[in-house]
């Protein structure tokens, strides 16, 4: 019997938004995945130092609230539980231990593809997962022209509805008092308010 089919959507989720959710449900559907794990980065090493990052426990609480009640979508705290800097190589190794025989699919947005070449211990990631790339407005993934994307990697592209939403824009909206409604799931907005995040 083959193991479970698992999608891994890693991110900072600062905050989680419907772009993440739409990507996850569509990839889950297309690839017939049993579940998609939203793996919340503890210390996103490529972001720390460039901007203040919301505490990991708050970002996890937002993801848990957003996913509550959605079958097949789960928040994962494995990077937070591990502590320190979050490397996908460590995460996939841990998921292989947790789900023996699992078919792991790493889901990234097209904006992340060009940066893949900079990832730590990329070979280990490549051995462990199949790569899935979703389109994202403002970026284009095209082979072989996407600089920085390792030429030898196979990737499946899944087309999803183009949603021009980013956490960066949402933090800016919140800071300037504009609404997050319908861009961030209602339950996550409630947590943002309860915890006074993003100046709300
Ligand atoms: P930030 O602006 O802070 O970088 P973000 O909106 O890019 O936030 P991340 O947590 O960095 O969110 O993204 C996690 C993953 O989700 C990445 O692989 C990213 O490419 C993907 N993603 C985020 N938003 C979208 C979107 N609107 N459409 C498709 N993929 C997305
Ligand atoms: Mg991003």
In a domain, 25, yes or no: yes
Q: Which of 27, 74, 72, 76 is nearest to 56 (CA)?
A: 76
In a domain, 42, yes or no: yes
DSSP 84: S
- For residue 144, the model assigns a pLDDT of 67
> Is 157 a residue whose pLDDT tops 60?
yes
Whole domain around residue 152: which residue ranges?
Answer: 5-194
In a domain, 199, yes or no: no
In a domain, 97, yes or no: yes
In a domain, 119, yes or no: yes
> Is 140 a residue whose pLDDT tops 90?
no
Closest CA to ligand 1's atom 26: 19
Closest CA to ligand 1's atom 29: 136
Q: State which of 7, 146, 167 you would mutate to test the pocket of ligand 1, scoring each by most atoms of that ligand within 8 A of its C-beta.
A: 167
Closest CA to ligand 1's atom 31: 109
Closest CA to ligand 1's atom 20: 109
Whether 186 contacts 199, CB under 8 Å: no
pLDDT tens sequence across 67-114: 999 999 999 999 999 999 999 999 999 999 999 999 999 999 999 998
If pLDDT is split at 50, 70 and 90, which confidence band does 33 have? very high
- For residue 1, the model assigns a pLDDT of 57
> Is 115 a residue whose pLDDT tops 60?
yes
Counting ligands in written order, the one closest to the CA of 12 is: 1
For ligand 2, the distance from its centroid to the CA atom of residue 111, given in whole angstroms, is 7
String of DSSP letters for 124-164 = HHHHH-EEEEE--TT----TTTSTTS-TT--EEEE------
pLDDT tens sequence across 119-129: 999 999 999 99
Separation between Cα atoms, residue 42 and residue 45, nearest integer Å: 9
In a domain, 200, yes or no: no
> Is 10 a residue whose pLDDT tops 80?
yes
Bond before 15 cis per omega within 30 degrees: yes
For ligand 1, the distance from its centroid to the CA atom of residue 1, given in whole angstroms, is 34
Q: State which of 7, 10, 11 you would mutate to test the pocket of ligand 1, scoring each by most atoms of that ligand within 8 A of its C-beta.
A: 11
Q: Count up the domains in the chain and report the number.
A: 1
CB under 6 Å to ligand 1: residues? 9, 11-14, 19-20, 23, 108-109, 111-112, 134, 136, 163, 165-168
Q: Which CATH number is 70's domain given?
A: 3.40.50.620
């Amino acid at each position: 019997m083959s193991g479970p089919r698992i999608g891994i959507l890693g991110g900072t989720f600062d905050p989680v938004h419907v772009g993440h959710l739409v990507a996850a449900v569509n990839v889950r559907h297309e690839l017939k995945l049993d579940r998609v794990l939203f793996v919340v980065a503890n210390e996103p090493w490529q972001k720390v130092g460039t901007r203040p990052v919301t505490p990991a426990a708050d970002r996890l609480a937002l993801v848990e609230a957003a996913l509550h009640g959605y079958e097949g979508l789960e928040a994962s705290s494995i990077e937070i539980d591990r502590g320190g800097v979050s490397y996908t190589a460590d995460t996939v190794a841990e998921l292989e231990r947790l789900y023996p025989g699992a078919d792991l699919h790493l889901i990234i947005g097209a904006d992340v593809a060009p940066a893949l070449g900079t990832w730590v211990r990329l070979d280990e990631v490549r051995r462990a997962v199949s790569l899935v790339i979703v389109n994202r407005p403002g970026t284009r993934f095209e082979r072989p022209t996407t600089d920085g994307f390792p030429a030898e990697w196979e990737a499946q592209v899944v087309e999803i509805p183009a949603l021009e939403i980013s956490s960066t824009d949402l933090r800016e909206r919140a800071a300037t008092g504009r609404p997050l409604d319908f861009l961030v799931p209602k339950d996550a907005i409630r947590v943002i308010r309860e915890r006074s995040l993003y100046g709300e």
